């Protein structure tokens, strides 16, 4: 049986051993040098000025939206576009913080929000928190341009697409900030963990503040001094001054250490996932029962899981049954967000979105683990054949 989670880490055995050694030798296990080192290395690899490490991808989304609200970039009541096909905690921070999510339907062939769909809703939006679904995007360069032209602030939930590229640019580098997840089964695993990246100095500073209680302790010393002087806080009280609305979303040194252990495997992991993806996608293309994916515009598809869409619900049932004894499957992410109880409870706009519903009814996914053996990949390819 090929499970959704094949291992906790890439190179599991040696990673676990080095984790044991690290913990036994470490004097500090709360956020410290390892976290800072991982942030620096991750920002460099992603090609961003800053990276802020947090306890999960969901917290990355929450602190990003909170930081933008603290800075006045979004205000209560603003309408923010989101993908109909995403994870719940992409939309939840908007509801929690008094913003209004506006659902955008996705394409059946890229699974992502299209520029045409963005264009339809642009007039209503203050921001767009787009999800790059399962290593893919639609024409995100065009979406970025549309957003700039219409002064819509673009941010990306890149929790599912680390390492994917289009137009020579890594996904996660199109908006002013983007989020990542390091949960088990994602591209890089730190067990739990997440990151926010940005090039914006002011947003970075606010993210650091929002990650830890709203205090200034983790800011650059010069900035810290300026803030303390501005507000007239003496050194004795300064450490216990809370500047703005915040959480405790801090990672531990274990997260940082694991990030530093997994990061050097980035290229290898992406390469293997891309190569598996191509074999799966080409089997799907040859099978008339299945809907082919559109990915010619992508330079690299680094997907942690492979979506399969059947042409009809009846066909989907046939393929689900075919996979079940051999390969663990699940809905595509969590299906159409409009079907979720939390969404029905808190959002009044319950219009149907055809493509997300099609994916909900006719789709499933299986894991694209970089350590799948050749035999396992071949087995999956045979299941994807008619
Ligand atoms: C698009 C998306 N956003 C956010 C998350 C949340 O990440 P985490 O599980 O690290 O909280 C996920 C998780 O799979 C996701 O797929």
- Is 350's pLDDT higher than 90? no
pLDDT tens for 313-323 read 999 999 999 99
How many Å apart are CA 33 and CA 50, to the nearest integer?
16
What percentage of the chain carries pLDDT values higher than 70?
Answer: 100
Residue 7 lies in a domain: no
CA 357 to ligand 1 centroid distance, Å: 20
Atom of ligand 1 nearest to the CA of 59: 11
- Is 285's pLDDT higher than 80? yes
pLDDT at 182: 98
How many Å apart are CA 114 and CA 98, to the nearest integer?
26
- Is 335's pLDDT higher than 90? yes
With the most atoms of ligand 1 within 8 angstroms of its CB, the residue from 65, 83, 85, 89 to mutate is 89
Phi, psi of 233 (to 5 degrees): -90, 130
Contact between 261 and 288 (Cβ < 8 Å): no
Identify whether residues 19 and 157 lie together within a single domain: yes
Contacts of residue 247, Cβ cutoff 8 Å, sequence gap at least 6? 59, 62, 63, 66, 210, 211, 213
CA 193 to ligand 1 centroid distance, Å: 10
The last residue of a domain, from among 264, 284, 302: 264
With the most atoms of ligand 1 within 8 angstroms of its CB, the residue from 4, 55, 58 to mutate is 58
What is the average pLDDT value for the chain, to the nearest integer?
97
pLDDT at 104: 96
CA 133 to ligand 1 centroid distance, Å: 11
Residue 1 lies in a domain: no
pLDDT at 199: 98
pLDDT at 374: 97
CA 122 to ligand 1 centroid distance, Å: 25
Written as six digits, the tokens of 239 are 């450490």
Identify whether residues 113 and 139 lie together within a single domain: yes
Q: How confident is the model at residue 124 (pLDDT cuts 50, 70, 90)?
A: confident
Identify whether residues 289 and 252 lie together within a single domain: no
CA 337 to ligand 1 centroid distance, Å: 14
How many Å apart are CA 306 and CA 313, to the nearest integer?
18
The last residue of a domain, from among 264, 279, 301: 264
CATH number at residue 350: 3.90.1150.10
Return the axis-axis angle of helices 374-383 and 266-285, rounded to nearest 10°: 30
- Pairing mode, if any, of strands 127-131 and 153-157? parallel
With the most atoms of ligand 1 within 8 angstroms of its CB, the residue from 65, 87, 334 to mutate is 87
CA 367 to ligand 1 centroid distance, Å: 15
Identify whether residues 204 and 344 lie together within a single domain: no
Atom of ligand 1 nearest to the CA of 89: 4
Within 6 A (CB) of ligand 1 lie 56-58, 61, 86-87, 89-90, 131, 157, 159-160, 181, 183, 194, 333
pLDDT at 160: 98
pLDDT at 220: 94
Identify whether residues 271 and 254 lie together within a single domain: no
Collapsing DSSP to helix, strand or coil, 230 comes out as helix
Phi, psi of 155 (to 5 degrees): -130, 150
Q: What is the DSSP letter of 312?
A: S
- Pairing mode, if any, of strands 79-83 and 50-54? unpaired
Neighbours of 165 (CB within 10 A): 19
Identify whether residues 82 and 215 lie together within a single domain: yes
Q: What is the DSSP letter of 113?
A: B
CA 194 to ligand 1 centroid distance, Å: 9
pLDDT at 351: 75
Q: How confident is the model at residue 352 (pLDDT cuts 50, 70, 90)?
A: confident
Q: By mean pLDDT, which of 59-63, 235-239, 251-255, 273-277 is the weakest? A: 235-239
Interior angle at CA 191, CA 188 and CA 195, nearest 5 = 55
With the most atoms of ligand 1 within 8 angstroms of its CB, the residue from 61, 90, 159, 333 to mutate is 159
Contact between 250 and 31 (Cβ < 8 Å): yes
Q: How many structural domains comprise the chain?
A: 2
Identify whether residues 250 and 134 lie together within a single domain: yes
How many Å apart are CA 121 and CA 102, to the nearest integer?
8
Q: By mean pLDDT, which of 78-82, 315-319, 348-352 is the weakest? A: 348-352
pTM: 0.98
Identify whether residues 213 and 329 lie together within a single domain: no
Distances (CA, A) of 216 to 109, 212, 221, 244, 263: 46, 9, 9, 10, 28
Q: How confident is the model at residue 348 (pLDDT cuts 50, 70, 90)?
A: confident
Identify whether residues 97 and 169 lie together within a single domain: yes
- Is 325's pLDDT higher than 80? yes
Q: What average pLDDT does range 28-51 have in this prediction? A: 98
Identify whether residues 361 and 238 lie together within a single domain: no
How many Å apart are CA 48 and CA 245, to the nearest integer?
25
The last residue of a domain, from among 264, 281, 296: 264
Identify whether residues 339 and 370 lie together within a single domain: yes
Identify whether residues 170 and 152 lie together within a single domain: yes
pLDDT tens for 209-236 read 999 999 999 999 999 999 999 888 888 9
Residue 5 lies in a domain: no
Q: How confident is the model at residue 53 (pLDDT cuts 50, 70, 90)?
A: very high
- Is 28's pLDDT higher than 90? yes
CA 139 to ligand 1 centroid distance, Å: 22
Instruction: Give the domain extent around 330.
Output: 265-383
The residue whose CA has the least distance to atom 10 of ligand 1 is 57
With the most atoms of ligand 1 within 8 angstroms of its CB, the residue from 183, 193, 335, 365 to mutate is 183
pLDDT tens for 127-182 read 999 999 999 999 999 999 999 999 999 999 999 999 999 999 999 999 999 999 99
CA 153 to ligand 1 centroid distance, Å: 21
């Amino acid at each position: 049986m090929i499970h959704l989670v094949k291992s906790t880490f890439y190179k599991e055995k040696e990673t676990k051993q080095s984790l044991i050694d690290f913990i036994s030798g470490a004097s500090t296990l709360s956020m410290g040098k390892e976290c800072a080192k991982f942030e620096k290395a991750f920002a460099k690899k992603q090609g961003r000025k800053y990276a802020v490490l947090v306890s999960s991808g969901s917290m990355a989304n929450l602190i990003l939206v909170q930081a933008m609200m603290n800075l006045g970039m979004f205000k209560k009541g603003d309408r923010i576009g989101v993908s109909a096909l995403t994870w719940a905690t992409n939309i939840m921070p908007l509801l929690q913080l008094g913003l209004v999510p506006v659902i955008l339907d996705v394409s059946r062939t890229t699974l992502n929000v299209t520029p045409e769909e963005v264009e339809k809703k642009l007039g209503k939006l203050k921001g767009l928190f787009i999800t790059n679904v399962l290593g893919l995007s639609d024409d995100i360069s065009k979406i970025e341009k549309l957003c700039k032209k219409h002064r819509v602030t673009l941010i990306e939930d890149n929790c599912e697409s680390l390492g994917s590229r289009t137009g020579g640019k890594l996904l996660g580098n199109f908006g002013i900030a983007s989020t990542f997840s390091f949960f088990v089964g994602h591209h890089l695993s730190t067990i739990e963990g997440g990151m926010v990246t940005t090039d914006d100095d002011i947003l970075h500073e606010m993210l650091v503040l929002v990650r830890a209680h709203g205090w200034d302790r983790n800011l650059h010393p010069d900035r810290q001094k300026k803030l303390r002087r501005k507000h007239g806080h003496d050194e004795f009280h300064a450490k216990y001054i809370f500047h703005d609305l915040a959480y405790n979303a801090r990672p531990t040194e274990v997260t940082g250490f694991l990030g530093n252990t997994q990061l050097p495997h980035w290229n290898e992991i992406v390469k293997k996932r891309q190569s598996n993806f191509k074999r799966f996608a080409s089997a799907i293309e040859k099978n008339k029962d299945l809907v082919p994916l559109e990915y010619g515009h992508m330079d690299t598809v680094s997907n942690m899981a492979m979506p399969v869409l059947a042409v009809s619900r009846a066909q989907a049932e046939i393929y689900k049954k075919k996979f079940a004894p051999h390969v663990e499957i699940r809905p595509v992410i969590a299906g159409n967000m409009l079907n979720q109880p939390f969404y029905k409870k808190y959002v009044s706009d319950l219009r149907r979105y055809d493509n997300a519903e099609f994916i909900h009814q006719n789709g499933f996914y299986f894991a694209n683990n970089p350590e799948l053996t050749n035999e396992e990949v071949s087995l999956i390819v045979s299941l994807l054949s008619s």
